[in-house]
């Protein structure tokens, strides 16, 4: 395994250069040449196997983008513009992409040659390789459904494999599960203090995610007729989650937010992360793409989602009779502490060149008023204007394991109060929530949560698990996959992009310091001392309006959004289908 994570970037560069020296690229699924001295240098030593396996880490989210933008394309976030998948007529076989098999070829070449190696430690590296093969295939299945299962290198003359059709997605997912089980059994290390190695626990964490997705897909995508097999995948989630040991929820007054600001991940909760390092010029664009008014998606949370954060006493915020017309300054009081660690509240302060400044929500930078701070540095310079973030991207953390287990138990109908206290109760306790909700599972469904999910779910336990999942995991890249696996794609298009309540046109002080922070107006810009002006004259594309014309919730119009049944899968790219007509096309994209 890699011994020094400060040299992670250098190791990957060396791996790429070494592997490039012994491999050539031919047809997309062709094998690499094997009878070379360089090949022997790689596969006949533990250091060679380590060097090669380092190249697989390139499949993880990139240092620059991480996972923080994935939720921008969901029902919980208002963003600039509309994603290709949701924009009417934008996605087609001609515009589709993603049908690349280079990474699989690299992995299979390694597996085939590593299996023949005499190196005693080879099973560890085979486990790592099969983890990444599972990673590769899970992404392909989510995107395309049926895909060809290939577990060996393919010769140039092997037309039977090169131009074969696709294998059933459910068969492929059985192979993915086999690869993950092999990885868990054979990877040597259980855990890693730097949180950047693939370990047994990283493989277990990923297995809970994969199995939960597959269980839900089989249960809720009823057209496939696989509902009867969903339970065994939920059982795998529970069994595997119980095997993840040595972690706990990071604690402290600001613990939740601090998790996402560390250059060196908090090892008590983090299982796998992508580390960044200025010495190797590996940065992310998190501040810039979240806060800058001119760069990125300008993501902001919706009021529909903000309403799901519980009160600090564990009661639903939406149980208050007048919650719909509660002003921003009041609605954020006495709520789940994760709210203040996820968005700017009125008392939020930033620094500019180290000097503290009061920074209530800036409606020049956020469409809804619920401005994201999770994962963003408080210092403005240079992070808002340049891609200079060095805080690690968290890929797996213990909180997700608890949520995955809780959802599986709820779906199986086996959640006990003891299970609840150890999963949902533990997460809520870390968030400062009090009351019976920490120790007792709910017995009555919250009508707001039932409506939130289009009345698809009636079980009160499951609805609360889903509340917790969205709140805890927002901006961590899981929400679009959640909507897909639950067969709730319509929420991509239907969920309102709504914002804070505005009782009328004029000036508003968002932090009670006596200074007007924002002025809402229609028509001609008025004289005002406010620092931000928001024109709510028209509901047109790329504009904001108020739900009741001169009052009401802010309504952001990013453009037309469309969801169709066929969009649960991407189309096979036309160019690849022409090369191999046996691939066929996904339903509705013919």
Residues of the chain with pLDDT under 50: 1-14, 16-17, 20-27, 31-35
Would you put residue 145 in left (φ > 0), alpha (ψ -120 to 50) or beta?
left
Q: Specify the 3-state DSSP secondary structure of 371.
A: strand
CATH fold of the domain at 1-59+101-187: 1.25.40
Could you give the dihedral angle defined by the CA atoms of residues 189, 193, 194 and 200, in that order, rounded to the nearest 10 degrees? 30
Radius of gyration of the chain (CA): 25
Identify the bridge partners of residue 272 per DSSP, sorted by sequence position. Answer: 396
Containing H/E element for 270? strand 270-274
**Beta partners for 349?**
358
User: Is the CB of residue 371 less than 8 Å from the CB of residue 361?
Assistant: yes
Angstrom CA distances, 556 to 293, 493, 504, 545, stand at 15, 13, 17, 7
DSSP secondary structure letter of residue 546? E
Task: Please state at what angle helix 46-54 crosses helix 122-144, rounded to 10 degrees.
Answer: 20
3-state secondary structure 384-405: CCCCCECCCEEEEEHHHHHHHH
Q: What is the pLDDT of residue 36?
A: 52
Query: What local confidence, expressed as pLDDT, does residue 318 receive?
Result: 98
DSSP string, 315-367: --GGGSTTGGG--HHHHTTTB-HHHHTTB--TT-EEEETTEEEE----TTT-S
Separation between Cα atoms, residue 145 and residue 141, nearest integer Å: 4
| Integer Cα distance of 102 and 106 in angstroms | 6
Find all residues with CB under 8 Å of 457, minimum gap 6, and list them: 450, 463, 466
Three-state DSSP at 208 gives: helix
CA 250 to chain centre: 20
Q: In the structure encoding, which two tokens stand for residue 269, read together? A: 């909760």
Helix axis angle, 122-144 to 169-186, nearest 10°: 150
Nearest Cα neighbor of 132 from 272, 252, 293, 244 is: 272
pLDDT at 25: 39
pLDDT score at 37? 52
Give the pLDDT confidence score for residue 29 in this predicted structure: 60
Could you tell me how many residues make up the chain? 590
Q: Give the residue among 395, 359, 364 at the shortest CA–CA distance from 377.
A: 359
Residue 39's pLDDT is what?
73
CA 309 to chain CA centroid, Å, is 19
- Residues in CB range of 347: below 8 A, 6 or more apart: 511
And the tokens for 385?
């204007």
Please spell the DSSP secondary structure of 555-577, one letter per residue. Answer: EEE-------GGGGSPPPPHHHH
Kindly provide the b/e burial profile for residues 206-245, where b requires at least 16 CB atoms within 10 angstroms of the residue's own CB. Answer: bbbbbbbbbbbbbbbbeeeebeeebbebbebbbebbeebe
pLDDT confidence of residue 468: 98
For the chain, domain boundaries:
1-59+101-187, 414-491
SS (H, E, C) 467-512: HHHHHHHCCCCCHHHHHHHCCCCHHHHHCCCEEEEECCCEEECCCC
Which positions ≥6 away from 380 have C-beta within 8 Å?
350, 351, 352, 353
Residue entry with tokens 């979240």: 290
**CA atoms of 519 and 503, how far apart (whole Å):** 12
3-class secondary-structure state, position 115: helix
- Is the pTM higher than 0.85? The answer reads yes
């Amino acid at each position: 395994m890699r011994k020094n994570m400060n040299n992670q970037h250098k190791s990957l560069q060396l791996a790429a250069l070494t592997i490039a020296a012994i491999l050539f690229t031919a047809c997309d699924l062709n094998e690499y040449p094997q009878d070379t001295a360089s090949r022997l240098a790689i596969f006949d030593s533990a250091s060679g196997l380590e060097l090669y396996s380092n190249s697989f880490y390139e499949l993880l989210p990139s240092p620059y983008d991480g996972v923080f933008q994935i939720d921008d394309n969901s029902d919980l976030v208002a963003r600039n513009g509309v994603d290709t998948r949701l924009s009417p007529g934008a996605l087609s076989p001609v515009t589709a992409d993603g049908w690349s098999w280079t990474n699989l070829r690299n992995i299979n070449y390694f597996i085939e040659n590593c299996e023949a190696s005499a190196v005693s430690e080879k099973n560890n590296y085979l486990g790592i390789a099969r983890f990444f093969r599972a990673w590769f295939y899970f992404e392909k299945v989510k995107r395309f459904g049926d895909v060809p299962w290939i577990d060996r290198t393919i010769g140039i003359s092997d037309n039977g494999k090169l131009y074969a059709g696709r294998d059933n997605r459910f068969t492929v997912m059985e192979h993915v599960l086999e690869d993950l089980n092999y990885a868990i059994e054979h990877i040597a290390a259980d855990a890693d203090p730097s949180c950047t190695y693939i370990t047994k626990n990283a493989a277990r964490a990923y297995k809970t995610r994969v199995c939960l997705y597959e269980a839900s897909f089989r249960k809720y995508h009823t057209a496939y007729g696989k509902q009867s097999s969903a339970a065994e995948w939920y059982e795998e989630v529970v069994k595997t989650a119980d095997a993840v040991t040595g972690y706990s929820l990071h604690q402290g007054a600001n613990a939740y937010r601090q998790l996402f600001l560390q250059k060196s991940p908090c090892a008590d909760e983090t299982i796998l992360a992508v580390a960044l390092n200025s010495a190797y010029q590996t940065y992310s664009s998190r501040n810039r793409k979240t806060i800058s008014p001119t760069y990125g998606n300008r993501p902001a949370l919706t009021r529909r989602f903000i309403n799901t954060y519980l009160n600090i006493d564990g009661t639903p915020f939406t149980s208050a009779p007048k919650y719909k017309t509660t002003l921003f300054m009041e609605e954020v009081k006495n709520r789940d502490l994760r709210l203040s660690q996820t968005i700017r509240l009125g008392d939020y302060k930033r620094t500019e060149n180290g000097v503290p400044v009061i920074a209530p929500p800036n409606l020049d930078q956020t469409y809804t008023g619920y401005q994201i701070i999770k994962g963003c540095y408080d210092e403005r310079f240079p992070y808002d204007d340049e891609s200079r973030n060095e805080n690690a991207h968290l890929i797996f953390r213990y909180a997700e394991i608890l949520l995955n287990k809780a959802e599986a138990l709820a779906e199986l109908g086996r959640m006990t109060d003891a299970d609840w206290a150890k999963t949902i109760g533990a997460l809520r306790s870390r968030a400062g929530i009090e009351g019976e909700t920490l120790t007792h599972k709910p017995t009555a469904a919250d009508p707001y949560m039932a409506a939130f999910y289009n009345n698809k779910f009636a079980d009160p336990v499951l609805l609360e698990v889903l509340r917790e999942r969205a709140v805890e995991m927002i901006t961590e890249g899981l929400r679009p996959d959640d909507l897909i696996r639950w067969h709730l794609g319509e929420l991509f298009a239907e969920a309102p992009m709504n914002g804070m309540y505005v009782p009328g046109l004029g000036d508003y002080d968002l932090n009670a310091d006596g200074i007007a922070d924002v002025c809402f107006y229609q028509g001609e810009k008025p004289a005002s001392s406010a620092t931000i002006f928001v024109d709510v004259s028209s509901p047109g594309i790329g504009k904001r309006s108020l739900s009741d014309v001169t009052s009401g919730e802010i309504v952001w119009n990013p453009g037309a959004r469309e969801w169709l049944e066929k969009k649960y899968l991407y189309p096979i790219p036309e160019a690849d289908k022409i090369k191999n007509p046996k691939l066929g096309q996904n339903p509705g994209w013919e």
